[in-house]
Amino acid sequence: MAEFRMPSLGADMTSGTVVEWLVKPGDEVRRGQIVAVVDTDKAAIEVEAYEEGVVTDLVVPVGATVAVGAVLARLAPLGAEVMAPPAAELALPAEPAPPAEPALAHSDGAPAVSSPLVRRLAHQLHVDLDTVPGTGPDGAIQRADVTAASGGLALGRPRVRSSPLARRRARELGVLLDSVTGTGPRGAVRVADVERASPRAPQAPTPIADPAKPQQHAATARAEATARRQAAVGELMARSKRDIPHFYLGADVDLAVASAWLHSRNRDRPPAQRVLPAALFLRAVTVAAAEVGHLNGHWVEGRFQPIDGVHLGVAVSLRDGSLVAPGIRDAQRLDLDEMMEALRDLVVRARSGRLTREQMSDPSITVTNLGDLGVDTVLPVIYPPQVAMVGFGRVADRPWAVDGMLAVRPVVSISLAADHRASDGHRAARFLQAVARRLQCPAELDPRSAP
Amino acid sequence: MTATMSDTEARAIVAGILADIAPEVDLDEIDPAGELQPQLDIDSLDFLRFVEGITKHTGLPVPEEDYRRVASLDGAVAYVSGHSVSARS
């Protein structure tokens, strides 16, 4: 029987929360079909099936957080008659040990654990591995053992649900989660619950959600997702500032030609087909990133690894105040209209919490545009493992010297933050120059309009 | 069927479009004469979607030259109701 597992949607993802099932038992799924929406620390992402089949059961309920690799649903071969399997089978799924990860026998006689995945699952389910009898080779503890010891997630037996923030707070305050009454969705333990249960913490003024009101559930879940995302971005940025020797360059670029060109291009088009300056900026950055080396790629294991193709990250602010930076894959293949479409899709999906897996795969360079907020200059913080980030400020009319005369021109301030381990001022300057030059010849960024 | 659109109808259309873009904003709370973009905390892409919504619901093309006229709530309502006669005839 095939299994649909929690996918890894990024190098640093360890667990995910099922926020929506798009299939139910009995449904046929095809390869590539979107079957669920999963919330990670970064964003809510659509996940697709890798195998075809008929859904026999959804193992993980909506709202539950499980480790990467945990079984989310089971699939029978297409055409098979689907019947609900007996509960016992669910509680103890027979899973052979993965051949790639042989059991590691501990020298101190402690129970052997098959894989890091099992340890992660145990952590996720609050299972103490010392208390789990192993059923694998040499008594190795397997995923099924952990699942069984956790009280059977598959059976939906009570266990302590809790948000990552609540778990952290519980650790800080020395509170046992088992002893806390949860007021969150499906009895999940929230930060406020932990704080109430702790004699050390002052009473939190947070209003308690009434479990009878689903609207409050949704609001609580959203607030938790926001807090989680903000914490994840904060941690990532702290790592960036700690590890990456940033340096910054900036250039003011006259956009008179580009603005006039874009305006005339948009003139006879309905709004749905109009292109914003932002899309032109993305095109210019893409072309420049492909042209100038050492800025498009990742810093991994102490060295720069260039990436073929430009996976263009775009920082998107969400309405809850959090930030995501999904990407446009192989942006170098897109013409201007396609880039605009990709940008629109990215932003709308990011804000509605339905990014695709492709959009969440690691970008190779990221752009942030704060011009709409009236910002003149952005000094970006690089998203690890990337090595560069480009910032655009607002397009504003400014006094500008042209051919010895003073003119008023629309000008944008473009900045670049780069990782000094991967590149230097010379290369970074060439990149910025390339962006500026491309913006002086907008028609060239639009192959279809070229003569 | 009336030949012109009342301000009430126009306002309902505009509010409907904005509800999709900035769902948590109460339009009664904003300054109707002030710019929508900073008040609703929307970016240029959101604003383009707003313009797109006007076109979709009224058939008005809303060229870029007119963006300033639909930049506030009052402006957008007046624009939609004022143009509706020619747009419908």
pLDDT band of B46, cuts 50, 70, 90: very high
Cα angle A271, A276, A277 (rounded to 5 degrees) comes to 160
Cα separations in angstroms, A212 against A103, A183, A264? 46, 10, 56
In the predicted structure, residue A122 carries a pLDDT above the cut 90: no
- From the CB of residue A126, how many other CB atoms can be counted at a distance below 10 Å? 16
Q: State the Cα–Cα distance between residues A264 and A440, nearest whole angstrom.
A: 16
In the predicted structure, residue A226 carries a pLDDT above the cut 90: no
Give A325 or A186, the one with higher predicted confidence.
A325
For residue A420, give its domain range. Answer: 246-449
Give A387 or A180, the one with higher predicted confidence.
A387
In a domain, A235, yes or no: no
> Which two three-digit tokens encode residue A23?
């299939």
- Write the Ramachandran bin of A32: left for phi over 0, alpha for psi from -120 to 50, otherwise beta: left
> Which two three-digit tokens encode residue A360?
């969440």
Mean pLDDT of A175-202: 63
- CB of B68 within 8 Å of a chain A CB? The answer is no
pLDDT of residue A156: 32
- State percent of chain A over pLDDT 70: 68
In a domain, A177, yes or no: yes
- State percent of chain A over pLDDT 90: 40
What is the dihedral angle through the alpha carbons of B27, B33, B35, B36, rounded to the nearest 10 degrees?
20
Q: How many domains does chain A have?
A: 3
Are A224 and A258 part of one and the same domain?
no
Query: Looking up tokens 């697709």, which residue turns up?
Result: A48
CATH assignment of the domain containing B57: 1.10.1200.10
* Out of B24, B44, B62, closest to residue A372 by CB: B44
pLDDT band of A123, cuts 50, 70, 90: low
Are A283 and A405 part of one and the same domain?
yes
Are A122 and A213 part of one and the same domain?
no
> Which two three-digit tokens encode residue A30?
């095809």
In the predicted structure, residue A229 carries a pLDDT above the cut 50: yes
pLDDT of residue A201: 44
Query: Looking up tokens 């950055």, which residue turns up?
Result: A285
In the predicted structure, residue A20 carries a pLDDT above the cut 90: no
In the predicted structure, residue A105 carries a pLDDT above the cut 70: no
Average pLDDT, chain A: 79
Mean pLDDT of A420-433: 96
For residue B83, give its domain range. Answer: 7-88
- CB of B44 within 8 Å of a chain A CB? The answer is yes
In the predicted structure, residue A304 carries a pLDDT above the cut 80: yes
Kindly report whether the peptide bond that precedes residue A77 is cis, defined as omega within 30 degrees of 0.
no
Average pLDDT, chain B: 87
B41 chain-A contacts, CB cut-off 8 A: 319
Which stretches of A219-364 are assigned E, i.e. beta strand? 246-254, 297-300, 303-306, 312-314, 316-317, 323-324, 327-328
- A299 DSSP β-pair partners: A304
Q: Which of helix, strand or coil describes residue A437?
A: helix
Exposure string of A371-405, with b = 16+ CB inside 10 Å and e = fewer, is bbeeeebbebbbbbbbbbbbbbbbbeeeeeeeeee
- CB of B59 within 8 Å of a chain A CB? The answer is no
pLDDT in tens, A142-158: 666 665 565 443 333 33
- A328 DSSP β-pair partners: A312
> Which two three-digit tokens encode residue B63?
């060229």
Weakest mean pLDDT among A63-72, B45-54, B68-77: A63-72
- Helix or strand run (H / E) with residue A390: strand A388-392
B51 and A267: CB-CB below 8 Å? no
In a domain, A159, yes or no: no
In a domain, B80, yes or no: yes
In a domain, B11, yes or no: yes
Give A159 or A287, the one with higher predicted confidence.
A287
Weakest mean pLDDT among A91-105, A345-359, B7-21, B41-55: A91-105
Complex ipTM value = 0.87
From B68's Cα to the closest Cα of chain A, the distance in A is 14
Mean pLDDT of B41-58: 93
In a domain, B1, yes or no: no
pLDDT in tens, A196-216: 666 554 443 444 444 444 555
Q: How many domains does chain B have?
A: 1
B43 and A372: CB-CB below 8 Å? yes
Are A81 and A214 part of one and the same domain?
no
Q: Which of A123-127, A187-191, A327-331 reaches the highest mean pLDDT?
A: A327-331
Give B63 or A144, the one with higher predicted confidence.
B63
* Amino acid at site A247: F
Are A319 and A195 part of one and the same domain?
no
Mean pLDDT of A318-338: 91
Of A92, A110, A144, which closes a domain? A144
B38 chain-A contacts, CB cut-off 8 A: 374
Write the DSSP string, A36-91: EEEE-SS-EEEEE-SS-EEEEEE-S-TT-EEETT-EEEEEEPTTPPP-PPPHHHHH
